[in-house]
């Protein structure tokens, strides 16, 4: 179960059930609970692994996004790259 902002354990925003046999994922949102007799539509397996997740980013995820997101400013000058330069990238 996911912890809420005040530290209490509560319901997860998203429950992801992953089939152990084929890896197919099934998501349940908004307090839905997975059925106890659930079968994988792909392989027919009845054994799943449950993952509880939150739609709200945690501190680690927010910090990662801050450090790795790209600059989207459009006021920078266009690069002087030509079409032939891009084709040369694949030829050593």
pLDDT in tens, 9-58: 445 688 999 999 999 999 998 778 888 899 999 999 999 999 887 777 67
- Domain chopping of the chain, boundaries: 6-57
Structure tokens that stand for 86 in this block? 């891009």
Our CA angle for 34, 39, 40, nearest 5°, is 105
Q: Is pLDDT at 3 greater than 60 in this prediction?
A: no
pLDDT at position 39 is: 93
Binned at pLDDT 50, 70 and 90, residue 5 comes out as: very low
Higher confidence at residue 68 or residue 57? 68
51 C-beta neighbours (distance < 10 Å), count: 13
pLDDT at position 11 is: 52
Q: Is 84 helix (H, G, I), strand (E, B) or coil?
A: helix
């Amino acid at each position: 179960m996911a912890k809420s902002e005040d530290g209490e354990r509560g319901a997860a925003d998203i429950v992801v059930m992953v089939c152990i046999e084929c890896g197919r994922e099934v998501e349940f949102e908004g307090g839905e609970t997975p059925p106890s007799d659930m079968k994988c539509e792909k392989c027919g397996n009845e054994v799943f692994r449950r993952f509880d997740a939150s739609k709200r980013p945690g501190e680690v995820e927010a910090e990662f996004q801050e450090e790795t997101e790209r600059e989207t400013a459009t006021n920078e000058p266009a690069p002087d790259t030509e079409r032939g330069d891009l084709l040369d990238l694949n030829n050593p």
